Amino acid sequence: MTDPLTAPPVLRGNYAFFFDLDGTLAELKPHPDQVSIPEPTRAALHQLAQQQSGALALISGRSMAELDALAAPYRFPQAGVHGAERRDIKGQDHIVTLPETLAGALHLWLVDSMSGLTGCELENKGMAFALHYRQAPQHQQAIEQLAEQAVARFDGLAVQPGKCVVEIKPAGIHKGAAIAAFLQEEPFRGRIPVFIGDDLTDEAGFEVVNKAGGVSVKVGPGETLAHWRLARVADTHSWLQQLVQQDKTALTDRRDGYESLSRSI
């Protein structure tokens, strides 16, 4: 779907919310370690999760350890490394791993292959590898070709392009599959899914949510499968605050109505 897309409505009802992190809840930075989620946004996520009986999860290319650190002091259900690792509402982990010999051989091959690409960075996530070129955009084509060579050289892998990064991950692992898994579990089951993301890695999630009759929201410009759009991260923060506030207003209205009824009786 191409521009223009309008901003999503402020939703009221039984929804299951899924949020990407970088470029959606947090501004993109030159280095991943510089990223943070503003405290009011973290608090709003916690409030929205409470309002939806816990049906809120983070869906990211980052590891779950990184997600916990960025969301602290709150702890949400989440899928890290595009769904290669996932934690459900009960705190149970679901992990997809690469064979140790494959991961070791791939890591050594990537280190050697990237040695001449100054400014690029290899991130070993254990079950996936991220090839970052944000600080060396002139190497984009070389990084993309290198990732394709890796998939051809080593079995059971797939390439996932992103913003200034290309990831090599287990085949069949993507954010859409992670969202689909959550939707089979309580408290997400039976709710209308909502997914907000900004990157190519989020398109698989939009596809799953669209097929489920849900609400898909793209943050930023670019063609997308999403049905709605927010222009920037700051708009995600504003929309999230509206979601929380309208639910508080509805609760206050219900309480006021009950108290008036009590007094009249």
Look-up of token digits 């309208």: 246
Integer-rounded Cα Rg, in Å, for the chain is 20
Q: Calculate the alpha carbon distances from 21 to 24, 55, 99, 189 in Å.
A: 5, 17, 28, 23
Q: Give the alpha-carbon dihedral of 156, 59, 197, 82, to 10 degrees.
A: -10
**Alpha-carbon distances of 164 from 73, 90, 184, rounded to whole Å:** 29, 34, 33
Task: Determine whether 38 is exposed, middle or buried from the number of CB atoms within 10 Å of its CB (0-12, 13-18, 19+).
Answer: middle
Residue 192 bridge partners (DSSP):
15
Query: For the residues of 113-175, what is the DSSP string, one character each?
Result: HTTTSTT-EEEE-SS-EEEE-TT-GGGHHHHHHHHHHHHHHSTTEEEEEETTEEEEEETT--H
Helical packing angle, 203-211 and 175-182, nearest 10°: 40
Q: Is 202 an annotated catalytic residue?
A: no
**Which residue in 3, 20, 22, 68 is the catalytic one?**
20
Question: Which residue, 115, 255, 128, is CA-closest to 201?
Answer: 128
- DSSP code string of 52-75: TTT-EEEE-SS-HHHHHHHHTT--
- Cβ-contact 206, 192 below 8 angstroms: no
Q: What residues are annotated to the active site?
A: 20
